[in-house]
Amino acid sequence: MNFPLQTLFPAASRLMYGCMQLGGNWDSSSLSREQHQRAFAALDAAIEAGINCFDHADIYTLGKSEQVFGDYLRQAAIPREQLFIQSKCGIRLATATEPGYYDFSAGHIRQSVEASLQRLGCDYLDLLLLHRPDPLMQPAEVAAVFSELYQQGKVRAFGVSNMAWPQLQLLQQALDMPLVANQLEMSLANYHWLEEGILTGMPAGSDCHFSAGTVEYCQLHRIQLQAWGSLAQGVFSGGRFPRNDAEKATARLVQQLAGEYQKPAEAIVLAWLMRHPSAIQPVIGSCSVRRIQACQQATKVELSRAHWYALYTSIRAAALP
């Protein structure tokens, strides 16, 4: 199966560990011993499960996520070249005097990368993603700072997060290097990235606004799709209660398939994403050692076409057109 990230990092794992929950609360408090222990246990579990790709953002727990990850790297003494580390920038959180907003200015991107590298204790990022679309983006300005960071050896590749294909295309035309990843919310619960294609030209699709063609554009241009929220907060695997009849029925089906494939429910949920030919890379963010180990089993499951469609039709609570 085509897995675009391996063109950057041949040893890249099919799963990526999302570090958003590391570092405790989103406040200015210092990292505690308990927070270090919790983060280290989760990262140990990810490494032991064969996961070598890690997702960060400058804003996660106000920088403490990257900080505790850097502490872990120093303690674990893992060679930097054995890991794929990416971070995101472009979101400015609200303050007492300003609203939250997005910022793709060269100064902010440059400053964010420098701060992330310092917290991580690394010389470079394998990949930098722009976190959410900035309506005030100047593509030429972004291109210039990307080129600067690349030439300085501080970032080896660039991508985006939460962008539709026209936004990708607009930015790409200004760059002299390819965008290599797009991180989107994709899961068995958030399946609208499929619906627009299925319902093309049909009145039933008028309420689907995922941005038609984004998945296909990424597939065509070898842009790695990364799925945040891939476990749907555990709604199908016991992490939380299903919110409606479709989720209840789908949770039961996931449990049934878990029995048939003799794998954990989390593995079935992720295998559903990974069965798609665009080679989606799920980003898992659980700090539970058990759940991380369960997720790893997804790499050993290939759902049959009938089972894949059974899950799809179950969550959409309707037969296909």
Catalytic residue list: 60
12 vs 306: CA distance, rounded Å: 29
Region class of 279: left (phi > 0), else alpha (psi between -120 and 50), else beta: left
- With tokens 């308990």, the residue in question is 34
293 vs 288: CA distance, rounded Å: 9
311 vs 319: CA distance, rounded Å: 11
Q: Which pair of structure tokens corresponds to residue 165?
A: 């294909």
64 vs 62: CA distance, rounded Å: 6
* Contacts with 18 (C-beta within 8 Å, 6 or more apart), sequence order: 55, 228, 283, 284, 285
- The H or E element spanning position 281 is strand 281-284
User: Do 284 and 15 form a contact (C-beta atoms < 8 A)?
Assistant: yes
